[in-house]
């Protein structure tokens, strides 16, 4: 992926990893468009970053995604990159059998959302001389967190879907890059996470991702050092140990 001169759409761009990547890419000379459901939050980000633009999007709503994609292409005909970042993570109590609503909401947001949006934008992206689809999975795609089973499953599915999409697009102008964050200081699971010393500082994560994108333009996966124990647990034969440690820490 070229690091500048793009027009990039970032879902969930109002906070957390989405906002951090939006601001970093904006600073590199890209036209950045952030999308999300909270207009006031989006407005605050664009006000702090002159030249950045925003669009409202309900990533859980299939009809809204279709209309949003049409509007995005009309407003930004040079659009050549999308970062599927919007996501939710909620704990589930499976024995209590009260998790179904959470599971369905998580699947709609984390899995169907990126698939629907990418599918809607792909005809436009395929017309660009160079384009990129970026997916945001998680270290939990490779070693699941038991208290968030559906979240972990959706991220494993995004990893697998990214591989399939990349293979199908290998002879086109569209590349596919997967970014797999570790546990990062955001508010994904609440305000406590943003100050948890066990989580990777957001600025450090963002800097490492940007460095990888800039110095390894052919990379298909962006795995920061902190995430590598999870990403390669199965390959290294340490899955059981890593799984036990992860779930003891967050159980």
Q: Where are the domains of the chain?
A: 7-250
Residue 219 pLDDT > 90: yes
Residue 237 pLDDT > 90: yes
**Percent share of the chain, pLDDT over 70:** 100
Mean local confidence (pLDDT), 109-115: 98
Residue 226 pLDDT > 70: yes
What DSSP string describes 156-194?
HHHHHHHHHHHHHTTTSSEEEEEE---SBSSSTT-HHHH
Rounded CA gap, 192 and 230, in Å?
Answer: 22
Mean local confidence (pLDDT), 220-231: 98
Helix (H) or strand (E) holding 22: helix 16-27
State the pairing for strand pair 81-84/221-222. Answer: unpaired
From the candidates 151, 183, 205, 243, give the one annotated as an active-site residue: 151
Q: How open is the CA angle 67-71-73, to the nearest 5 degrees?
A: 120
Residue 117 pLDDT > 90: yes
pLDDT tens readout for residues 2-56? 999 999 999 999 999 999 999 999 999 999 999 999 999 999 999 999 999 999 9
**Known catalytic residue: 183?**
no
**Percent share of the chain, pLDDT over 90:** 97
Q: What is the pLDDT of residue 97?
A: 83
Q: What is the pLDDT of residue 251?
A: 66
pLDDT tens readout for residues 47-104? 999 999 999 999 999 999 999 999 999 999 999 999 999 999 999 999 988 889 999 9
Sign of the Cα torsion 216, 221, 224, 228 reads negative
Dihedral angle at the C-alpha atoms of 234, 236, 242, 243, nearest 10 degrees?
A: 20
Q: Which CATH class is domain 7-250?
A: alpha beta
pTM of this prediction?
A: 0.96
Q: What is the pLDDT of residue 16?
A: 97
Q: What is the pLDDT of residue 98?
A: 82
Mean local confidence (pLDDT), 156-166: 98
Residue 222 pairs in a beta bridge with 179
Mean local confidence (pLDDT), 196-218: 97
Confidence bin at 250 (pLDDT 50/70/90): confident
């Amino acid at each position: 992926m070229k690091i500048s001169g793009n027009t990039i759409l970032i879902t969930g761009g109002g906070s957390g990893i989405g906002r951090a990547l939006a601001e970093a890419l904006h600073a590199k000379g890209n036209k950045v468009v952030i999308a999300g459901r909270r207009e006031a939050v989006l407005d605050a980000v664009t006000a702090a970053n002159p030249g950045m633009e925003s669009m409202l999007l309900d990533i859980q709503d299939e009809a809204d995604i279709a209309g949003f994609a049409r509007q995005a292409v009309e407003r930004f005909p040079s659009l050549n990159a999308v970062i599927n970042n919007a996501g939710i993570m909620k704990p589930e109590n499976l024995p209590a059998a009260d998790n179904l609503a959470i599971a369905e909401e998580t699947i709609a947001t984390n899995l169907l959302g990126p698939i629907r949006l990418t599918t809607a934008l792909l005809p436009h992206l395929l017309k660009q001389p160079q384009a990129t689809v970026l997916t945001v999975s998680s270290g939990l795609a490779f070693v699941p967190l038991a208290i968030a089973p559906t979240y972990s499953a959706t991220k494993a599915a995004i990893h697998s879907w990214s591989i399939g999409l990349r293979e199908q697009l290998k002879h086109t102008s569209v590349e596919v890059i997967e970014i797999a964050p570790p546990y990062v200081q955001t508010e994904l699971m609440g305000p406590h996470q943003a100050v948890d010393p066990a989580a990777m500082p957001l600025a450090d994560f963002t800097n490492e991702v940007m460095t990888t994108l800039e110095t390894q333009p052919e990379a298909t996966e962006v795995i920061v050092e902190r995430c590598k124990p999870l990403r390669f647990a199965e390959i290294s034969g340490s899955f059981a140990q890593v799984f036990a440690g992860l779930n003891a820490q967050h159980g």
